[in-house]
Each structure stands twice: as C-alpha cells, then as structure tokens.
Structure 1
Amino acid sequence: MSVRLEKNGAIARIIIDRPDARNSINLAMWETFPSLIADAVSDPAIRVLELRGAEGSGIFSAGADIKEMLAHKDDMSWLSANQAEINRVQHELARADIPTIAFVDGDCIGGGCGLALACDIRVATQRARFGITPGKLGLVYPLHDVKLLTDLVGPGQAKRMLFTAGLIDADEAYRIGMVEIIAEDTSKLIEQMLANSTHSAIENKRFVRRVLEGQGDDDDHSLRVFHAAFTRDDFAEGSSAFVEKRQPRFH
C-alpha cells in the first residue's frame, strides 16, 4: 500500500510510502486518504493525527504524480476526477476534528506541500525543503491550497513561492511562518498536546477555522461552546488539578 494508517495508543499516523516515486501521490492514493482520515477521527482512542513520509524514505512527498497526470493530459474527465480528489483530501484534512501534525523530513513539494499546509502544525527537520512548483509546469495551484498558504505566510511570501517555484530550506520556512517547529521528531510536541484536554483542542481548532473563514466576533454557537465547557468533566479535572498543584488526568 502506498499510503496507510498506523495507530499507536492515542496517536494515528498516515504514512506516505512510495519511495520509488519520491512519495509522489497518484489518484489511487488521493482516493484512499479520506477513509484513512475518517478512520483516525472516528476512533475515540485517537487524539492526534500525524502525517509523514515512511521511515527511511528521506522525503515527505514530491507532490502529485506528474507522470500519471501527463499520461491522462487529454482526458478531461480523469483530470477533473483527480483534482476533485485532491481538493477533497486537502479540505477534509484541514477540517479534521482532531489536531493534525505534518512531520516533514526531506522534500515537501507541490501537492505534498499542500498536505502539510492542510495540517494544524508543521514540524520539519533540518533536511526539509519546501516548494510550490506549478509555475514550472505552466499549471495553477488549487485555490484552497493557495488560501492555506496565504493564511500561514501572508500574501507577499505566498506570491514569492508561487511566482519563483523555488525551494526553501527549513530555516527559511520557519522564518516566514510556514513551519512552526524545527526538530528531529514530534514526540515532545505530541506529549505536550496529550497532557491537555482533547475537548479544548477540538473546540479551539474549530474556533481557529471560523476565524480563518472570516468570523471575528462571538455568535450564539461560540458562546454556547464557551459556557458549556464549564459543565464538562474536563473542567472539573483541570480546575481540581490546578488547585491541588498536580498534573491533570484527562480522559
């Protein structure tokens, strides 16, 4: 399988494993992603979803499978179906209920970069390189992915990456806000996340999404979510732990 889901306790990982093609993603793989995301999100034991290249592959993803696209360049129904699947994956990953992390080791290019952009947090090793390269092929990056990029780095840096189609290293990606953490693994970040309330993470993620989609003030729904948190077991445990000066134990 070129893309698969692995679970370990509270952590699920979607693994891109096609090293012979630099982890490029073909239509069959795009079609597989949504079921893997749904499997992780629907599992009550899973609290964090990580996306990464296979161990030892030395690459996150070279993006969409250009050879496959060229083979179908005159088949508009295939091209439309392929783009629809790419858009579906990016949309569902960006809106997955649980926190998501992209762990980028090696190149993260084009559609692979879109996957990383759709995650909540990006952790990159010093070996990581990022590039959005449709300009080299005379193609256009999907609008949803352009929004994800612009939300992260701002319009100026987004245009620079799109217009030049060049690669930037991990330090540059961190400087412009494309990467949140430079590290050799995600263990510390995940440990910190799992120490806190999953309910808080889920609802705060939804609030951030609302802000990114243009909402700037509370409405009836956001106020209900805010007030309901005080009645939940997580608040009882968190407040008790605070008073007792111990670590909370959230379920």
Structure 2
Amino acid sequence: MSLTLDVDGPVATLTIDRPAKRNAMSFEMWSALPGLLDKVEADDSVRALVVRGTDHFSAGADISEFTTLRGDADGARRYSRAVHDGVRAITGVGKPVVAAITGVCVGGGCEIALACDVRIAADDARFGITPAKLGIVYDFTSTRQLVDAVGPAWASQILLTGDLVDAATALRIGLVNELQPAADVVPRATTLATTMASRAQVSVRGSKAFIARIRAGQHDEDDAVRAWYEASVTSADYAEGVRAFLDKRPPRF
C-alpha cells in the first residue's frame, strides 16, 4: 500500500514510502488515509503526528492512473473524492500534525502538506500545485488552505501558472514555517512534534480547534468555544500547570 504508520512514544509518523514513483500517491493510498488518521485520533498515547516521505515528500497523485482509474468523468469524480477525503482526514485530526518535507512537494503532495499544521522543509525542496497543467479545478478547501498560508496574490501565481517555487520562496511567502538542511528535516519535525506532545493537551487541542474555526470564517465565541474554556479550568492539565508554577518546576502533563 506504500503508507506506513509507526508510533514511538507520544509521536506517530506517517511515511509515504513509494520512492520508485517519487512517492506519488495512488488511489489505494489516498483511500487508506482516513483509516490511518482514525487510528492516530483514537490512540490516546499518541499526542502528535509527523507526515514525511522518503527521499521526496510526494510528487502528488500518480499520473499513470489518470488513463485508467480517471479515464472518464465518473472515474475522475471518484478519484477526486478519494483525494479530498484523504486530505480532509489529515486536516480533521485533533492533534498537532507536522509535515517534514524533502525533495519535491507537488500537486497532491502539496495538498497533504497544506493540510498539516506546521511545515518544515529542506532548503533544496521544490513546491508546486499543477492542476492548470491537467485540466483539473483544484479543491475549494485546499485552495482556502493555500490562500490562508500564502495570501491570494501568491495563491493566484501558484495555481494559475502551475510553476514550481523553490524553498527560499516557499519560506518567504509563508508556504513553510522554516527551512533546514535535508538531513535535519525529519529530526527537526520530530522534535517539534515531541515538544507539542509535551505541552498541556487541553491547551494544544483547544488552540488547534480555535485556529480551525477562525480559518473557516468564525469571528465570535459560541458554546463550543466556551466549552473549551470550561474544559481548561476543570482539567488535570490546569491543576498540574498551576502546581508546577508554584513549585518552580517543569509541568508533567
């Protein structure tokens, strides 16, 4: 299936492992993503997720399937649903998700990266979203994620040209959070995920839920937001945080 999910303490790692195809995602792989992300969400021992490739992050959808599984309009619709469901499964995880990006991150690969909360990239990585070269209209939710990351002007340039951008440009426009030498990308992403896993989980998950609501256009508090406030002040995390502060020691969440 070419996707592997490994758990090491509080951090899980989802690896796209299809190097012969530059980690292009097959229909089977897209279809497997929701189930794998459900496992991450259901495992209480896992507090953060790293998404990575092998040598490359991902060259996107496997173009060789476009003449078979996407050979007609019905097939194209079915394939697109699998892609969109897979990407939304990443976005929907309530735990922090960090992308570790090396090599090419193109098309559906960039879509996966944008679904993550934080993106750490190699200083020689390359990025692009290329539906304009294929006659495909990019998914609305993924377009919004791109606009949220880089703004409408750069989103327009990326989508309307289909051209690739280099890592320095990706950092400058906000497509990625930081650059590292290629060998340091996965360790840095794992360190960040481990740090997030060590923080008060009511704070981490509440913050992630708030960010998602703000990105979706919510401007005011509602009952769901206030429920997070209540969960915070009544949580074991809050009690431990206060005790640790008074005891002048690191908290143990």
TM-score by length of structure 2 reads 0.93
Structure 1 residue runs without a partner (length 5+):
none
Contact (CA 8 Å) 2:100, 2:121: kept in 1 or not? yes
The number of residue pairs the alignment matches comes to 247
Hey, what does 1:25 align to over in structure 2?
A: 25
SS of 2:120's equivalent in the other structure is strand
Contact (CA 8 Å) 2:150, 2:175: kept in 1 or not? yes
Runs (4+) of structure 1 moved beyond 6 Å? none
Higher relative contact order (CA 8 A, sep 6+): 2
Deviations 1:109-139, CA, capped at 9 Å, x for gaps: 0001000000111111112111111112232
Shift of 1:164: 1.8
Q: CA 1:221–1:72 in 2, change beyond 3 Å: closer, same or farther? A: closer
**Equivalent-residue separation in structure 1 for 2:225 and 2:69 (angstroms):** 46
Match of 2:242 among 220, 239, 243: 239
Hey, what does 1:8 align to over in structure 2?
A: 8
SS of 1:62's equivalent in the other structure is coil
Contact (CA 8 Å) 2:69, 2:79: kept in 1 or not? no
Query: Partner letter of residue 237 of structure 1?
Result: E
Structure 2 residue runs without a partner (length 5+):
none
Query: Partner letter of residue 149 of structure 1?
Result: L
Q: Within 5 Å, which residues of 2 pair with 1:158-173?
A: 158-173=155-170
**Equivalent-residue separation in structure 1 for 2:4 and 2:227 (angstroms):** 37
Query: Partner letter of residue 42 of structure 2?
Result: S
Match of 2:98 among 98, 101, 111: 101
SS of 2:45's equivalent in the other structure is coil
Contact (CA 8 Å) 1:195, 1:248: kept in 2 or not? no
SS of 2:12's equivalent in the other structure is strand
Q: Within 5 Å, which residues of 2 pair with 1:1-251?
A: 1-54=1-54, 58-183=55-180, 184-185=184-185, 186-250=189-253
TM-score by length of structure 1 reads 0.94
Root mean square deviation, CA, Å: 1.3
**Equivalent-residue separation in structure 1 for 2:226 and 2:151 (angstroms):** 29
SS of 1:45's equivalent in the other structure is coil
